[in-house]
Chain A
Amino acid sequence: MITLSLKEEPPVPLEAEALSPDVVATLRYDEICALPMFLGKRQCRVDDHFVVEGEASDELEIRGDAGRVKWIGRGMTRGRLRIVGNAGMHLGAYMKGGTIEVTGSAGDWAGAEMSGGLIRIGGNAGGQIGAAYRGSRTGMTDGTILIEGSAGLEVGMRMKRGTIAIKGSVKDFAGLEMKGGTLIVGGAELRTGAWMTRGTIVSLTRIPLLPTFAYSGTCNPTFLRLYARQLGTCGFSVPCDASAGAYLLYTGDTAVSDKGEILAWQPHAS
């Protein structure tokens, strides 16, 4: 295992796409120390900011408050990346495989345009989780993002496949222009699912809905049991017991499509 301990929190964002198992997997100690990063606009080395231990491994651990360290695990395809502390923006963006685990919180754009792998965030996350970057047509196309806390704006924007599960609540525009995949949230603020053409948004509480979503009955979809069983192993509970309640199904966004669905859990009155 390779361990990188942040010497001190950088004063400006540190762009560190070299911090990925794919990059360090075959490198010797001194090569890892010499990897390039950008502190603001200035190029620097990994050992300018981190104490490096270990070499040649696809298990990478980063310690310290890396909340200003951007692009960790960018495009990684394999291995394990563990961050003990916080992670900055663009964590695991374009990721194709492997696992990222953050014990603290992560910034915006975590898992943006990812196409495989797993990201677990122990704290909160910023906005645009698994989203499409500005101008792109599709966000995440596969993989899983699990967040214990809450998240920000535009979560799952333009996502096409894959799963995002968030225990806490998310802010406005969750599932904006969503094209597929599954987004599970504890709750959401305004305009959830705006312009969604396909895909499923599951909310564990009642949420405000756009007028362009049509109420289409109550149900307890079978597929959610599968999700509940799988996510249960990761500590996420998704209610699916018909004796406890039912999901209110809304279809939309009818401004563009009627194939998207929002499921909001409603427990039976006890």
Chain B
Amino acid sequence: MLRISGGRVYDPANGIQGEVKDICIADGRIVNDVQGAAVRTIPASGMVVFPGGVDVHTHVAGAALNFARGMTPENHRAAAKFIHSPLLRAGTGGITPTTFATGYLYAGMGYTTVNEAAVPILSARHTHEELRDTPIVDKSSCVLMANNEILLDLFEEGETERARDVLAWLIWAAKGYGVKAVNPGGVAAWKWGKDAKVLSDPVHGYGKVTPAIIIAQLAAIVDHLRLPHPLHIHCNNLGVPGNVSTTLETMRVLEGHRAHMAHLQFHAYGGDDWTTLRSEAAAVAEYFNAHPNLTADAGAILFGNSVTITADGPWQHLLYQLTGRKWGNLDVENETGCGIVPYVYKGSNVVNAVQWAVGLELLLLIDDPWRIFLTTDHPNGACFWRYPEVIHLLMDASFRRECLRKLPSRALKRIVLPDVDREYTLSEIATITSAGPARALGMPRKGHLGPGADADVTIYNESPDRGLMFRHPRYVLKGGEVVVEEGDIRKVVDGRELIVRPAYDENIEEYLRPLFEQYYTVAFENYPVEQERLEGADIRELG
């Protein structure tokens, strides 16, 4: 039992904004009160108490990330080292940290739940193995569906009900939590060397199915199955100048459904080509503000080294042609693809400078902090352990102006950030880093400090230097255990996996089995991830 006494508590989900109050913990949950001699007290007066951070969109495990690790040994050499100790496993930090280091780094920053945002079902087993080796944090995963040929064939034939059963079966097969759509139709077209650039054009290789149909169908199915997390969508034309029209059209297709727009920064560009690229964050924010069915994460970029990893194969080929550096491409049979390109964002580059501004503009121009969340699309825009830098930029307009002065003057004409004076409050930061993403993910025990919540708590030393304050929390509690104390990891606990089991007609297996025998290299029996592999998973049955 534990009492955090005298801290200033920010718990936006329960309407608490900087009240000094005690937080009590028993059996890994928040409770109203604890009594007795066995209660440990953490004196937190003068400190700031947040619910543990929740990352709605990150890439921390699986075949693609592992490929990226393998492709960039030079980054690992330069990275922070985690030396083997009685407490910690060895590993390296950097841009694509090793599994154990990922857990330590997230926890060390006060994050206690992460959502791995892109899992091909074929490599789900590998992903879960890596997630099991990612300590401390709780984990969920989104399963890639928008280029799954079995589903696309069903959409082509208009077999919506069967598609619903197949999708539900696939989620359970992957032991996933949500549904991810990446460049709907585009990755399927990439297998022909093509892309899907127009939402109303049929996908290459199909007669009727268009990206718009895929998006609408998936969103409808996700809502019908009552999945806790809405359709998680990476729009078509990521990163392309002028892609704002595609993004707005995608949002219009999604009207009437819940949806989460991933890394919106990469989808809010105007202009006709790289030389005329400009920010359209204002247009995106205006539409977004008026449509409460949507949530989004920023996908902000920060200047420096990164490695881009996405299922969006065609975009990665284009990026490779732009950089002329390394390029990795994976084909995942009938399901999706994957591309990997190391990239350096430079403040002196006009395009990168605009991208940097767009991420912040979206965070600042979208009014409701409950609907826009802090991410960098790790490791695409920047590493997750650089979130405190973004928080600093959001909370301090004068620091932002200082950074703007270093940008090339040509970039300043293409962005609206210099005119934005908004500064985030601590309560708003707690919303975009924890309460909001937990609500969007549909995790009722995460992201708040009310009775019954998981006792995931982060305690910061209050400091006017917000970057410093959020980089080094004083204490981090996970499930009631003090894992970080005085800024150091003191205890390593296992994180749980969060999984949903949607209802489906068992007979769907008889439909799928022959398709597998015909099209897959994997036997049908070997395809689903066995439940026994996921020790201690938190499974939510959906009726």
Contacts and interface: CB of A to CB of B under 8 A. Distances in A.
A133 B77 contact: yes
Contacts of A136: 74
- Identify which of A41, A134, A135 gathers the most chain B CB atoms within 10 Å of its CB: A135
A137 B75 CA distance: 12
A136 B77 CA distance: 10
Contact of B73 (A41, A133, A137): A133
Nearest to A136: B74
Interface in A41-64: 41
Contacts of B74: 133-137
A41 B89 CA distance: 13
B72 A135 contact: yes
Contacts of B325: 137
Interface string B155-182: 0000000000000000000000000000
A133 B74 CA distance: 7
B71 A41 contact: no
Interface string B82-119: 00100000000000000000000000000000000000
Majority secondary structure, B binding face: helix
B84 A135 contact: no
A135 B74 CA distance: 5
Interface in A122-149: 133-137
Interface residues of A, number: 6
A52 B128 CA distance: 51
A41 B84 contact: yes
A137 B74 CA distance: 9
A41 B72 CA distance: 24
Contacts of A135: 71-75, 77
A41 B90 CA distance: 11
Nearest to A134: B73
A198 to B, nearest CB: 16
Contacts of B77: 133, 135
Nearest to B75: A135
B478 to A, nearest CB: 29
Contacts of A133: 73-74, 77
A134 B326 CA distance: 13
Contacts of B84: 41
B271 to A, nearest CB: 30
A41 B84 CA distance: 9
B190 to A, nearest CB: 26
A250 to B, nearest CB: 26
B96 to A, nearest CB: 12
Contacts of A137: 74, 325
A254 to B, nearest CB: 19
A41 B83 CA distance: 10
Contacts of A134: 73-74
Contacts of B73: 133-135
A130 B325 CA distance: 22
A193 B98 CA distance: 36
Contacts of B71: 135
Nearest to A94: B77
Interface in B48-81: 71-75, 77
A41 B71 CA distance: 25
B24 to A, nearest CB: 42
Contacts of A41: 84
Residue of B71, B75, B77, B84 most packed against chain A (CB within 10 A) = B77
A203 B352 CA distance: 45
B325 to A, nearest CB: 8
15 contacts: A41-B84, A133-B73, A133-B74, A133-B77, A134-B73, A134-B74, A135-B71, A135-B72, A135-B73, A135-B74, A135-B75, A135-B77, A136-B74, A137-B74, A137-B325
Interface of B: 71-75, 77, 84, 325
Interface of A: 41, 133-137
Given A135-B72, A135-B73, 12 more contacts: A133-B73, A133-B74, A133-B77, A134-B73, A134-B74, A135-B71, A135-B74, A135-B75, A135-B77, A136-B74, A137-B74, A137-B325
| 4 closest cross-chain pairs (CB), A and B | A135-B74, A135-B73, A136-B74, A134-B73
